[in-house]
Amino acid sequence: MFSVPDAETKVADLVAAAKRAGADAADAFYYRNASTEVQVRLGALEDVGRSDGEEIGLRLFVGKRSASVSSSDLSKDALTALVDRAAAMAREAPEDDYAGLAPADRLLKGEAIAIDGDDGADPSPASLRERALAAEDAARAVAGVTNSEGAGASAGRTLTALATSTGFARGFLTSGYGCSASVIAGEGSGMQRDYAYHSTRHLADLEGAEEIGARAGKRAVQRVNPGKLSSGPMPVVFDPRVGSSLIGHLAGAITGAAIARKTSFLLGKRGERIFAHGITIRDDPHRLRGLRSRAFDGEGLPTLPMNIVADGVLQTWLLDSASARQLGEAPTGHASRGGSGAPGAGTSNLFLEAGTLSVADLAGDIKLGVFVTELIGQGVNGITGDYSRGASGFVIRDGQLAEPVAEITIAGNLTDMFLHLTPADDLIFRRAMDVPTLRIDGMTIAGA
């Protein structure tokens, strides 16, 4: 049984034990996840997976020295050994002037804001199987689909709790549900694969399995027999499911660690224009039922919705306490962490606000360009901003989608790409990072 009070007691007790062992300060993080996932393929059950695991992590400070340890064994003897090991490691660790807990006066106090992240539902494996079968059936029913990689449905619940020696002890529950389908269309060398999925916090919000499957099938069929494209500079339009990766690169470049280490292509750009006028990128940890909503961050600080970019101007870094100290600033409530190790920094529900142009108008004046639906590889240099990734999608001719295209490379530099980015008006909240359809002019295409 998932119990927030029990989890809060576990982490508070571990912190108290660390203090008794001689720690000057400590924090503890607890994580438990239980999930069920059903996979089907070609109309038959392929796999049922059920898991239920928990982990607790301790970060212990002795002066300016610290150590982090974790355990999936939460017995009394195991936790006693965990504390002793952390204390011994901390005494031998090098000093770090920037390590430490979040400032006590900044911790969340009072009632935590509600995020409505847990619906209490517990769908049976049989109902998940029916959902997965419905998704695959809908995908295979699309004319032109010739094979299936399968479909799946999942349900789970996660319990997270954090305690610090400065008096913070809070926890929260979230539920999660998903459905996906992946199919193949065409024959021989012209075959193409595509997929569709949806994830939500509440089961009632999950898109119908039939819609997910039909979308997967349609996408696969549209990509059959892709052609080549001549090389050269041209506009690139990003489908929202891949365009969201662009603001992911932004988030990575403005974390406190990247700025403090001087390893970011956006170093020195805070307060400067990095996008065109009118572009706003916002982080909203309080969105009801958001996939990454949270009332407090990984160090116990309250979270707040904020503009990361406002009217094209970069507003803030994403700072945990350690990087904030290193930069001589205050933490921003963006700390994130797992069971072991020190916190890092990251976003919650990050999105680029919709523009004013319809998708048709966004691409309407493009004589020759590319609509990208899939990106391949990791060719992004976070230090220089150089960007080069494999891609597939569709040729844009005279403002209209034309033949499918594959095995091309799109290249540019994120600094220039951000400045030349234009959003459409079709923003929908479906992921932890959301964008509308995006257009970037002047990218380099390497094709046939």
Q: Is the model more confident about 199 or about 341?
A: 199
Residues 215 and 246 in one domain: no
Domain identity same for 237 and 368: yes
The side-by-side arrangement of strands in the sheet containing 25-41 is 65-71, 44-62, 25-41, 145-164, 169-185, 192-200
Query: Quick one: 256 and 196 in the same domain?
Result: no
Amino acid identity, position 269: K
pLDDT band at 448 (very low <50, low <70, confident <90, very high): low
Helix (H) or strand (E) holding 35: strand 25-41
Q: Are residues 351 and 370 in the same domain?
A: yes
Q: Are 339 and 31 in contact (CB under 8 A)?
A: yes
Residues 210 and 236 in one domain: no
The beta strand positions in 322-364, using DSSP E, are: 335-336, 344-345, 350-352
Q: Quick: pLDDT tens for 263-289.
A: 999 999 999 999 999 999 999 999 999
Q: Are residues 123 and 213 in the same domain?
A: yes
Phi, then psi, of 378 in degrees rounded to 5: -125, 40
Q: Are residues 438 and 348 located together in one domain of the fold? A: yes
In residues, how long is the chain? 448
Task: Among 196, 220, 244, identify where a domain stops.
Answer: 220
Q: What angle do CA 277, 258, 168 make, to 5 degrees?
A: 100
Identify the pLDDT of residue 447: 79
| Bridge pairing between strands 192-200 and 169-185 | antiparallel
Range 158-183 average pLDDT: 97
And the tokens for 142?
């699309």
Enter the tokens of residue 220: 């696969």
Please report the beta strands in 215-322, taking only residues with DSSP state E, as ranges in sequence order.
232-238, 281-283, 306-310, 313-314
Name 109's Cβ contacts closer than 8 Å, sequence gap at least 6.
none
Residues 433-446 have a mean pLDDT of 96
Q: Are residue 331 and residue 399 in the same domain, yes or no? A: yes
The pLDDT of 352-380, averaged and rounded, is: 95
248 and 123 in a common domain: no
Q: Angle of helix 4-20 relative to helix 76-92, nearest 10 degrees? A: 50
Crossing angle for the helix pair 209-222 and 125-140, to the nearest 10 degrees = 30
CA–CA separation, 448 and 95 (whole Å): 55
**Is residue 377 pLDDT above 90, yes or no?**
no
Beta pairing partners, 265: none
Q: Mean pLDDT across the stretch 248-258?
A: 97
Domains of the chain: total: 2
Burial class (CB in 10 A: 0-12, 13-18, 19+), 30: buried
- State which residues form the domain around 164: 4-220
Same domain, 212 and 305: no
For residues 334 and 438, membership in a common domain is answered with yes
Q: Check whether 228 has a pLDDT greater than 90.
A: no
Q: Which token pair is 322? A: 């350690």
Buried b (16+ CB within 10 A) or exposed e, 255-288: bbbbbbeeebbbeebeeeebbeeebbbbbbbbbe
Is pTM beyond 0.85? Reply is: yes
pLDDT at residue 349 tops 70: yes
| 139 within 8 A of 148, measured Cβ to Cβ | yes
The residue among 220, 245, 277 that closes a domain is 220
Q: Which of 165, 189, 220 is the last residue of a domain?
A: 220
What percent of the chain has pLDDT above 70?
A: 100
Quickly list DSSP for 368-412.
Answer: EEEEEEEEES--B-TTT-EEEEEEEEEEEETTEEEEEEEEEEEEE
